[in-house]
Amino acid sequence: MIRKAFKKKSSNPRLDALMKKYKIPKELLSVNRKMVARAVLVGMFIAMIPMPIQMLAVVLVAPFFRFNVPIGVSLVWITNPFTMPIIYYIEYITGNFLLMREGVSDIKLSLEWFTANIADIFIPLYVGTAFYSVLFSVGGYYLINWLWVLSVNREKKNKNKN
């Protein structure tokens, strides 16, 4: 089932011409278990990192890890402007917990407060980021692999029944 959802695609002549012009390998758009699972791994890892231009980061690592780029790029939008504050705050709290620190109190939403407290925020935030990046990316990788194999086995089972 999951495999069929990804397999329903048609070739676009404009996209093919663009890929040929810029010498983009077709495998970066390939839809198979390994490419999709790797896309989830990279996309989720980069999505949890508080940094600008996350989509560009996904595209830049694509030649090294070989994954489905559109899926990887779309996954970084998990941390969109609405979810960012919540996710990064949870990462900050988790970082403080892992470092056995107390968090910054009396938070004020101003640039002056943020610049004065950046040293107290930065390390716990990125410790929590590392924790969740690894947890969600590896978990997503194995979840996609498991769902894909389960889907293929169900298809085979249903095919054998008929």
The pLDDT value given to residue 26: 75
Q: What are the extents of the domains in the chain? A: 2-161
**What's the average model confidence in pLDDT over 135-158?**
92
**pLDDT at residue number 3:** 56
Q: Please state, in angstroms and rounded to a whole number, the distance separating the CA atoms of residues 44 and 39.
A: 8
CA distances from residue 129 to 71, 87, 99, 150 in whole angstroms, order as listed: 21, 9, 13, 31
What's the pLDDT at 38? 94
Report the C-alpha gap between 119 and 88 in whole angstroms: 16
For residue 61, name the pLDDT band (cuts at 50, 70, 90).
very high
Q: Over the stretch 6-60, which tens digit does the pLDDT of each residue have?
A: 555 666 777 777 777 767 777 777 788 899 999 999 999 999 999 989 999 999 9
Q: How far apart are CA 139 and CA 47, in angstroms?
A: 14
Q: pLDDT exceeding 90 applies to what percent of the chain?
A: 49
Angle at 65 between CA 62 and CA 71, to 5 degrees: 55
Quick check: 116 pLDDT over 80? yes
| Mean model confidence pLDDT for the chain | 86
